[in-house]
């Protein structure tokens, strides 16, 4: 009897082992056939150095090489312009301190989308993600690509230079880096580190060589500063340009699911990179004023190229103009890398098309989201001007970044016992300064440019309608294959 029972147990054990092996084979086969759609599909492999490079590359883009001419046209004083850059930098730093807390709490793909979902719910989060798709990433990618096209076009032989060539160059760079980041995070982050290192080398060279051997004059700073230059609507509007140039200080929070030790590395990367960029921006603007008289700077778009030509003459100046154009490539690369993680997070929450939830089996990146963003950026390049994109982008980013920081304060009140690996320095004064500063920028920019405000409202309204579509009957029936519930 005992022998029979033992045989039965052995047979049962073998059967269970065979079933387990079959299940493993089946699950392995399904993983090969079906796209990965969960957060686990994204691998944590980014350390502090590539995060620092991602943020610096995001921040130091077309803004610093193109906006100072517009700013001095408004404030009419070099000292007021430098103050504008300093205030914008400190405002970005206060935002960075707040985002550091949120990023350490929620180290997931999506950034603002995830933070607003936790603080205000899915609808507000979706609107933030929708704005990120158009304003946070696609529009800045288009603006930087346009600036690259303009700078590169300016150093081409006269017979080749044309507005059409600028557009071709802008579209080409978006296509190339979209392809690069479809190849995987490892290859993309390696390319990002290289292009960022080249960018920093170019900027430091321009600052050091320009101030030591360049032809310029510190007498350009002797224009008297008046309080009317600072406490004016135009000064506030200029901060829109500055906020665009500093945008990207929160870049590391968008790749939270792919960061090693995110509780430490997210806050550290944001704070260190933002402080570094503030110093770089102030020094670069000192070089600009040293090289160019304020009246000659007024309204000039390719200000970096003009400064290089004045400092070093035509041959070396043309070289620096080309170098500035190439340095913009790291910014395009960085934004193309991080933006799709937002649309991926939205699709995982079933508030966006399911296809954008898919992860490429081979390269482990959200390929369809990357392609979507590239397509929108190319459309904006072909239909918009640099100045229009600049106003539209800065205004909308100021609103939603303020809402995100307000959400951090709401979470402190709603969920005080939640574990916070990093807490915002200077709370609650730090977030209050950030919110009030951004509201000041928004109010004055709306008064001076209602067109950008109307386009912003139209974008939000379109996002709200699309959210209702995804939350309604058609989402269940057509997108996710679910039958709508009856109202009985």
pLDDT, one tens digit per residue, over 367-399 is 899 999 999 999 989 887 666 666 666 677 788
**pLDDT higher for 342 or 37?**
342
Locate 311 and state its tokens: 């400092």
5 pLDDT above the threshold of 50? no
pLDDT band at 256 (very low <50, low <70, confident <90, very high): confident
DSSP-derived secondary structure letter, 214: S
20 pLDDT above the threshold of 60? no
The answer to the question of residue 12 being in a domain is no
The answer to the question of residue 23 being in a domain is no
Q: What are phi and psi of 225, to 5 degrees?
A: -95, 130
Work out the average pLDDT over 232-239: 80
With a CB cutoff of 8 Å and minimum separation 6, the contacts of 407 are 102, 115, 116, 118, 119, 120
With a CB cutoff of 8 Å and minimum separation 6, the contacts of 450 are none
Q: Could you give the 3-state DSSP secondary structure of residue 3? A: helix
The answer to the question of residue 3 being in a domain is no
The answer to the question of residue 142 being in a domain is yes
- pLDDT mean across residues, the chain: 82
The pLDDT assigned to 229 comes to 67
Locate 200 and state its tokens: 């920093």
The pLDDT assigned to 422 comes to 93
The pLDDT assigned to 471 comes to 72
The pLDDT assigned to 40 comes to 47
The pLDDT assigned to 10 comes to 58
The answer to the question of residue 377 being in a domain is yes
The pLDDT assigned to 390 comes to 63
Give the residues across from 259 on adjacent strands: 46
Q: To which H or E segment does residue 4 belong?
A: helix 2-33
Q: Burial of 331 by CB count in 10 Å (0-12 exposed, 13-18 middle, 19+ buried)?
A: buried
The Cα–Cα gap between 92 and 279 comes to: 13
The answer to the question of residue 481 being in a domain is no
**pLDDT higher for 460 or 98?**
98
220 pLDDT above the threshold of 70? yes
The pLDDT assigned to 365 comes to 83
The Cα–Cα gap between 152 and 168 comes to: 11
The answer to the question of residue 454 being in a domain is yes
Upper half-sphere CA count for residue 256 (Cβ side, 13 Å): 29
Centre a 10 Å sphere on the Cβ of residue 14 and count the other Cβ atoms it contains. Answer: 10
Q: Closest Cα to residue 377, out of 145, 57, 63?
A: 145
Domain range for residue 330?
A: 47-467
**In the chain, what percentage of residues exceed pLDDT 70?**
84
Work out the average pLDDT over 64-76: 86
The answer to the question of residue 41 being in a domain is no
pLDDT band at 315 (very low <50, low <70, confident <90, very high): confident
The pLDDT assigned to 34 comes to 34
Using CA atoms of 12, 14, 17, 21 in order, give the dihedral in degrees to the nearest 10: -130
Buried b / exposed e along 151-186 (16+ C-beta atoms within 10 A): bbbbbeeeeeeeeeebbebbbebbeebbebbbebbe
* 292 and 306 Cβ atoms separated by less than 8 Å: yes
Locate 350 and state its tokens: 């079933």
Number of domains, the chain: 1
pLDDT (tens digit, 9 = 90+) per residue, 163-211? 889 899 999 999 999 998 888 767 767 777 787 888 888 889 999 999 9
481 pLDDT above the threshold of 50? no
The pLDDT assigned to 366 comes to 86
228-234 contacts: CB < 8 A, separation 24 or more?
Answer: 229/75, 229/76, 229/77, 229/80, 230/75, 230/80, 230/83, 232/75, 233/444, 233/447, 233/448, 234/74, 234/75, 234/448
Q: What are phi and psi of 391, to 5 degrees?
A: -65, -45
The pLDDT assigned to 30 comes to 36
The pLDDT assigned to 41 comes to 60
15 pLDDT above the threshold of 70? no
Q: What is the CA radius of gyration of the chain?
A: 25
The pLDDT assigned to 347 comes to 86
pLDDT band at 270 (very low <50, low <70, confident <90, very high): very high
pTM, 2 dp? 0.79
The pLDDT assigned to 316 comes to 82
25 pLDDT above the threshold of 50? no
The Cα–Cα gap between 53 and 196 comes to: 6
Q: What is the CATH number of the domain that holds 417?
A: 1.20.1740.10
- Give DSSP secondary structure letters for 39-97: GGGS---B-HHHHHHHHHHHHSSHHHHHSHHHHHHHH--HHHHHHHHHHHHHHHHHHHH
The Cα–Cα gap between 148 and 169 comes to: 8
pLDDT band at 360 (very low <50, low <70, confident <90, very high): confident
3-state secondary structure 332-401: HHHHHHHCHHHHHHHHHCCCCCHHHHCECCCCCCCHHHHHHHHHHHHHHHHHCCHHHHHHHHHHHHHHHH
């Amino acid at each position: 009897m005992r022998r029979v029972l033992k045989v039965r147990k052995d047979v049962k054990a073998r059967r269970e082992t065979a079933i387990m092996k079959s299940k493993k084979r089946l699950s392995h086969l399904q993983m090969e056939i079906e796209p990965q759609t969960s957060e686990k599909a994204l691998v944590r492999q980014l350390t502090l150095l590539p995060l620092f490079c991602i943020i610096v590359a995001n921040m130091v883009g077309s803004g610093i090489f193109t906006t100072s001419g517009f700013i001095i046209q408004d404030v009419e004083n070099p000292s007021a312009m430098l103050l504008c850059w300093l205030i914008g930098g400190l405002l970005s730093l206060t935002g960075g301190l707040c985002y550091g807390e949120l990023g350490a709490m929620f180290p997931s793909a999506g950034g603002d989308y995830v933070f607003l979902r936790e603080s205000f719910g899915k609808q507000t989060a979706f609107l933030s993600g929708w704005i990120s798709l158009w304003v946070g990433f696609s529009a800045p990618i288009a603006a930087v690509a346009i600036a690259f096209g303009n700078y590169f076009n300016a150093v081409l032989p006269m017979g080749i230079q044309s507005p059409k060539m600028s557009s071709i160059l802008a579209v080409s760079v978006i296509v190339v880096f979209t392809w690069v980041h479809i190849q995987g995070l490892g290859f993309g982050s390696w390319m990002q580190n290289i292009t960022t290192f080249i960018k920093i080398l170019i900027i430091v060279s321009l600052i050091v060589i320009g101030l030591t051997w360049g032809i310029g004059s510190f007498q350009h700073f002797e224009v008297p500063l008046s309080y009317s230059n600072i406490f004016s609507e135009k000064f506030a509007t200029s901060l829109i340009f500055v906020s665009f140039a500093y945008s990207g200080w929160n870049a590391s929070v968008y790749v939270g699911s792919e960061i090693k030790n995110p509780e430490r590395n997210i806050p550290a990367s944001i704070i260190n990179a933002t402080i570094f960029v503030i110093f770089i921006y102030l020094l670069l603007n000192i070089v600009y004023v040293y090289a160019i008289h304020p009246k000659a700077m007024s309204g000039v778009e390719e200000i970096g190229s003009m400064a290089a030509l004045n400092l070093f003459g035509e041959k070396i100046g043309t070289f620096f103009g080309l170098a500035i154009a190439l340095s913009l490539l790291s910014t395009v690369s960085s934004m193309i890398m991080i933006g799709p993680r937002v649309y991926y997070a939205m699709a995982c929450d079933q508030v966006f098309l399911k296809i954008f939830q898919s992860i490429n089996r081979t390269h482990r990146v959200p390929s369809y989201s990357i392609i979507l963003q590239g397509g929108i950026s190319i459309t904006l390049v072909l239909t918009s001007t640099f100045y229009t994109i600049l106003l539209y982008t800065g205004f909308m980013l100021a609103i939603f970044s303020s809402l995100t920081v307000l959400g951090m304060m709401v979470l402190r009140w709603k969920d005080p016992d939640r574990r916070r690996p990093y807490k915002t320095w200077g709370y609650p004064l730090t977030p209050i300064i950030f919110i009030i500063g951004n509201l000041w920028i928004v109010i004055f920019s709306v008064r001076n440019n209602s067109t950008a405000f109307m386009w912003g409202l139209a974008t939000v309204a379109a996002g709200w309608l699309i959210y209702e579509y995804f939350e309604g009957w058609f989402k269940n029936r057509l997108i996710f294959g679910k039958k709508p519930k009856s109202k009985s």
